[in-house]
Amino acid sequence: MKVYLGLDGGGTKTDAAAVDSQGSVLARFAGGPSNPHGATFDKAVMELDKTIRGLLSSLPHMDIQLEGICLGMSGIDTSEERFLISSAVSRTLAEESGDIPVAVASEGQISLMSALGHEFGVQIISGTGSICYAFAPDGSHWRTGGWGHYLGDEGSGYSIGLSALKAVMRSYDGVQPPTGITGIILEEYGFARITDLKSYIYQPERVKADIAAFAKACLKAASGGDACAIQIVTEEAEALADTAAALLKRLPAKLGSRVVLTGSIFGHSPLFGRTLRDKLLDRFPSLDFVDGTSAPPPSVGAALLARKWFGGPDTENNNDRRK
């Protein structure tokens, strides 16, 4: 049986899926973070390899012919980065699986494939990080944001989590009023006192995903009506809307008005999504938003892209997408 693999590699986790030649999902598997900008390149490749092997081992016991792999990677933007990642993964698999073609797509392409059935359109992503993409059928593409947690990532889990942590400490100091975020963090992390945050945060093993995890406390507090949390979520959503608006005003009309919203923050915060949509509709009234969080996982979109590019139907004239 011909099998195609797809991975959604992010700063928090790596999801993987396998589909057959008909596009039916055969298995799924989850691994650790594989964004090379959130860890080292070698650790990212190691995690991708481990996740692929875990996915293959979870497939039903039958004669498997692995036809190709699509790696949907957050934070991988240049052709050099795509080549390095795909080559490294190919080498790690070569001894056991032979010469398997490996392509690298953006997180936007795999999410669009999952939500719309093709890899063209406009995408706003808010997960651990944030970015806005647009892809045209002729291979043209545009983006705004996605500059990482030092240079950008507005409206992301990391940015929300960091803002929440700062608000909690400012509240502790009496600089601003008490916030419900404090109690949620104490309960969920088991801290005896909020000052324990300092020793936790400054541990050398802390990574971007650890900070982004605190976004959950902020979103929970916002849903409960906490004024501080609501302000953080609203401001972050508006900041991401500004980033998206900068993209939308550059796009040709042929791309249409559909915009796919995806990522864990959209999935967990109606307030965040509503705020972003309202701000964008004020400037672009014809937009039609698609809830990408209810679509199949992006890893399935990646597997379907592997099928499309490496042997499924409608594969002709798509090699340029892999460049």
- How far apart CA 29 and CA 58 sit, in angstroms, is 8
Model confidence at 42, pLDDT cuts 50, 70, 90, reads: confident
Superfamily of domain 2-117+296-322: ATPase, nucleotide binding domain (3.30.420.40)
Give me the pLDDT at residue 312, please.
52
Range scoring the smallest mean pLDDT among 85-94, 160-169, 289-298: 85-94
What pTM, to 2 d.p., does this model score?
0.80
Angle at CA of residue 131, ends 13 and 4, nearest 5°: 50
Which tens digits make up the pLDDT trace of 158-193?
999 999 999 999 999 999 999 999 999 999 999 999
Q: Tell me if 226 sits within 8 A of 167, measured CB to CB.
A: no
Which residue ranges does the chain devote to CATH 3.30.420.40? Answer: 2-117+296-322, 148-294
Pairing relationship of beta strands 2-9 and 65-73 according to DSSP bridges: parallel
> Which option is the CATH number for 148-294: 3.90.79.10, 3.30.420.40, 2.60.40.1120, 3.40.50.1260?
3.30.420.40
Q: Which residues touch 228 (CB under 8 Å, ≥6 apart)?
A: 167, 171, 176, 177, 179, 180, 181, 221
Give me the pLDDT at residue 316, please.
42
Which tens digits make up the pLDDT trace of 139-159?
888 999 989 889 989 999 999
